[in-house]
Structure 1
Amino acid sequence: MGFSIGNAALRLATGAFILNSGIGKLHLDPEHAAGLQGAAARVIPQAAALEPAQFGKYLSAAEIGLGTFILTPFIPSRLAGLALAAFSGGLFATYLKSPGMTEADGVRPTAAGTAMAKDIWMVGIAIALIFHRKRK
């Protein structure tokens, strides 16, 4: 397992972003937690079974855990990429399934959907981490 400055940069950018997002959700108000829960339930219906406050705590813990995992240097980049792919794929699926976020074609974002569509960059980083090959 070698060190790649490129992979380190990708991991630092996404890991710090996700970790900060999770820390920011530590004290979600119930209305905000319910809004995030509603969006998540479009992709993961079981999320609707939780109380909003409980969902908010789980979401915060998951983001803090994932951000820390991606930032941990001894975790292989491919494994960090797989974890990031699951997370970012879920975010992108939420964007695609949320009403009013996409144009009629179902892909391009509306003005309201731009904030969610930008999460596609994490999907790209996940793919780069998973498929990066060292030069010999």
Structure 2
Amino acid sequence: MRLSNAILRGVSGAYILQSGLGKKDLPLEAYEGLQGMAATGIPQLKEWDAKTFGQALWLAEVGVGGLLLTPFVSKRLAGLALTAFSAGMLTMYFNNNEMTQDDGIRPTQEGTPLSKDVWLAAIGLALVVQSKG
């Protein structure tokens, strides 16, 4: 594995893994809040049980983080997983009017924490593109 790939995978993988582990034992009210936010991007998530949603969320984050941190997982698979994960996160950003300014792209103060997921999407895409070369 090239150093550039190790850096891309290590930083993003550790960040997502830590985020997932931090959600493992949240109270039901916290899962309900996360679910409400996620439903702004993917409305079908409203139909899920909040506890089931919370468990699926933290397991998905730990899974994506683990894929990125595991050296024998291909760049392509790790990149596709990260791209899909960040695309899901960005749906909340772009589908919530409070997150973007009037142009629908630049973040508001509330949108800045979610807008950072564009960096994760770029890292995922870079890993996919590098896997073809």
Return the offset for 1:50: 1.4
Partner residue in 2 for 1:28 = 26
- Shift of residue 44, structure 1, vs aligned partner: 2.5
Cα offsets for 1:14-70 (capped at 9, x unmatched): 111010000000011222211211122233233211111221111011111111111
**Which 10-residue stretch deviates more, 43-52 or 17-26?**
43-52
| Cα 1:31/1:77, change in 2 over 3 Å | same
State the partner residue of 1:41: 39
Instruction: Tell me how many residue pairs correspond in the alignment.
Output: 133
Which ranges of structure 2 fall in alignment gaps of 5 or more residues?
none
TM-score, normalized by length of structure 1?
Answer: 0.91
Q: How far off its partner does 1:133 sit? A: 6.0
Q: Which 4+ stretches in 1 moved above 2 angstroms?
A: 42-46
Equivalent runs, 1:1-136 vs 2, <5 Å? 3-132=1-130
Higher-helix-fraction structure: 2
Moved more, 82-91 or 34-43: 34-43
CA RMSD of aligned residues (A): 1.5
Determine what percentage of the aligned residue pairs are the same residue.
47
Given that 1:39 and 1:98 are in contact with CA atoms closer than 8 Å, whether structure 2 keeps it comes out as: no
Inter-partner Cα distance in structure 1 for 2:132 and 2:113: 34
Give the partner amino acid of 2:119.
Answer: W
Determine the C-alpha separation between the residues in 2 that align with 1:134 and 1:95.
30
Greater shift in the superposed pair: 96-105 or 36-45: 36-45
Could you state the TM-score of these two structures normalised by the residue count of structure 2?
Answer: 0.93
Question: Any conservation in 1 of the 2:41–2:96 contact (CA below 8 Å)?
Answer: no
State whether residues 41 and 93 of structure 2, in contact with CA within 8 Å, keep that contact through their aligned partners in structure 1.
Answer: no
